[in-house]
């Protein structure tokens, strides 16, 4: 029997969409009803877990590339099959990443963010991205104090009211970083996306909470105050189909794989990596998510403030579909303007045809939400 390796997620990871699993493909039997029953049964059993398995297989060295691809069932590697995004209204545009210094003055933070968005738009940006937790200090003590009830409307959420207004006035798309959100008796770390008409197009609640303990370096547990989100987010905008993650979400490659399978051309990760993991992992993770999925990755961090309780690494970055760093900042306040050209995605996917080379006979990425909706 082939050896198998299994990892189970934490019990707090309960997302109906994030329950997507990467697992060995079932045998391709002639009985399609049996295959469908297998998927349905396994999906039910694994409804609140993330299961990763890998198996070994034997390759026939003399097989041609084309026959190998067909015999490996690449179309079965993603269930349901990978989705094709609609053609975006524009395929080449400028993106602005606003790396901002955050203070304890909420009104000042909102005004400062607005000014930065306006400056990015003046420089030609059609998509503007803000940092993680840009209207509040990043601390468990602050989240409840600065939280806004987004669903209650703009009167209860001055941060999103500003984003909506400026998106409409400037005719741009805004990935609004993240702010603490209050919903009933729960708090979330939430990113809102606004279109050029000022309407809220999507709301992403951070799925993977930042709970780490590196002795002598950093200990932080978002779960003390925040609740994990339950839904991965892809959104069709005037600048393409975008997947949204927040900071710690970037460490989980399965989420990025799911976004790619849903047809995302760009993944935006507002984030605030720290001085311990930032130098080691921040750029590494961005480039890995981009090159593995052959799409663009944009990140936006707060500027570094050495007097703050939590010190952000900075280095907001745009990475291309070949893993190349197209633009980046240092740690001070900055507005980065760079260009995204979606034709580069097709070029790189032609250079490296990974989609046609996936091993559907060995593994599967199962998007549980899409599967259940079909």
Q: How far, CA to CA in Å, does 342 sit from each of 81, 94, 110, 265?
A: 21, 12, 32, 7
Q: Active site includes 132? A: yes
Phi, psi of 87 (to 5 degrees): -65, 125
Which candidate in 247, 268, 283, 300 is catalytic? Answer: 247
Token pair listed for 134: 């840009």
What stretches of the chain show up as alpha helix (H) in DSSP? Answer: 32-45, 65-71, 106-122, 140-146, 158-170, 253-261, 283-293, 343-351, 354-357, 368-373
CA 325 – CA 139 distance, rounded (Å): 30
Which candidate in 98, 106, 126, 132 is catalytic? Answer: 132
**3-state SS record for 289-333:** HHHHHCCEEEEECCCCCCCCCCCECCCCEEECCCCCEEEECCCCC
Q: Active site includes 206? A: yes
Token pair listed for 17: 């969409």
- CA 336 to chain CA mean position, Å: 20
Which candidate in 76, 106, 201, 206 is catalytic? Answer: 206
CA 147 – CA 248 distance, rounded (Å): 20
Q: Active site includes 247? A: yes
Element (H, E) at 194: strand 186-194
- Torsion angle defined by CA atoms of residues 228, 289, 120 and 306, in that order, rounded to the nearest 10 degrees: 70
User: Which residue, 265, 190, 194, 188, is CA-closest to 234?
Assistant: 265
Q: Specify the DSSP class assigned to residue 222.
A: G
CA-CA-CA-CA torsion sign (101, 106, 108, 109): positive
Catalytic sites, residue numbers: 132, 206, 247
């Amino acid at each position: 029997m082939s050896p198998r390796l299994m990892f189970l997620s934490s019990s707090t990871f309960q997302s109906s969409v994030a329950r997507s699993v990467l697992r060995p493909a079932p045998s391709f039997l002639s009985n399609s009803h049996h295959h469908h029953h297998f998927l349905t049964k396994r999906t039910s059993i694994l409804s609140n877990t993330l299961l990763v398995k890998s198996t070994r297989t034997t390759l026939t060295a003399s097989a041609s590339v084309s026959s190998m691809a067909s015999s490996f069932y690449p179309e079965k590697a993603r269930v349901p099959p990978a989705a094709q995004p609609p053609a975006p209204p524009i395929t080449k545009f400028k993106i602005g990443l606003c790396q901002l210094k955050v203070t304890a003055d909420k009104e000042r933070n909102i005004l400062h963010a607005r000014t930065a968005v306006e400056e990015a738009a003046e420089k030609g940006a059609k998509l503007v991205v803000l940092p993680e937790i840009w209207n509040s200090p990043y601390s468990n003590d602050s989240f409840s104090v600065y939280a806004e009830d987004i669903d209650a409307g703009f009167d209860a959420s001055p941060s999103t009211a500003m984003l909506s207004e400026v998106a409409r006035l400037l005719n741009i798309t805004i990935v609004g970083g993240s702010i603490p959100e209050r919903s009933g008796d729960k708090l979330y770390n939430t990113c809102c996306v606004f279109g050029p008409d000022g309407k809220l197009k999507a709301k992403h609640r951070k799925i993977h909470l930042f709970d780490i303990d590196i002795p002598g370096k950093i200990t932080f547990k978002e779960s003390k105050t925040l609740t994990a989100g339950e839904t991965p987010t892809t959104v069709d905008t005037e600048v393409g189909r975008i997947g949204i993650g927040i900071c710690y979400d970037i460490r989980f490659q399965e989420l990025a794989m799911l976004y790619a399978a849903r047809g995302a051309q760009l993944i935006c990760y507002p984030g605030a990596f720290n001085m311990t993991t930032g130098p080691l992992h921040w750029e590494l993770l961005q480039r890995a998510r981009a090159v593995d999925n052959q799409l663009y990755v944009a990140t936006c961090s707060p500027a570094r403030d050495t007097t703050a309780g939590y010190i952000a690494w900075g280095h907001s970055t745009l990475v291309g579909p070949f893993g190349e760093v197209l633009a980046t900042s240092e740690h001070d306040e900055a507005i980065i303007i760079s260009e995204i050209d979606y034709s580069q995605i097709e070029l790189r996917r032609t250079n490296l045809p990974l989609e046609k080379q996936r091993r559907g006979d060995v593994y599967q990425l199962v998007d549980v939400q899409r599967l259940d909706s079909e």
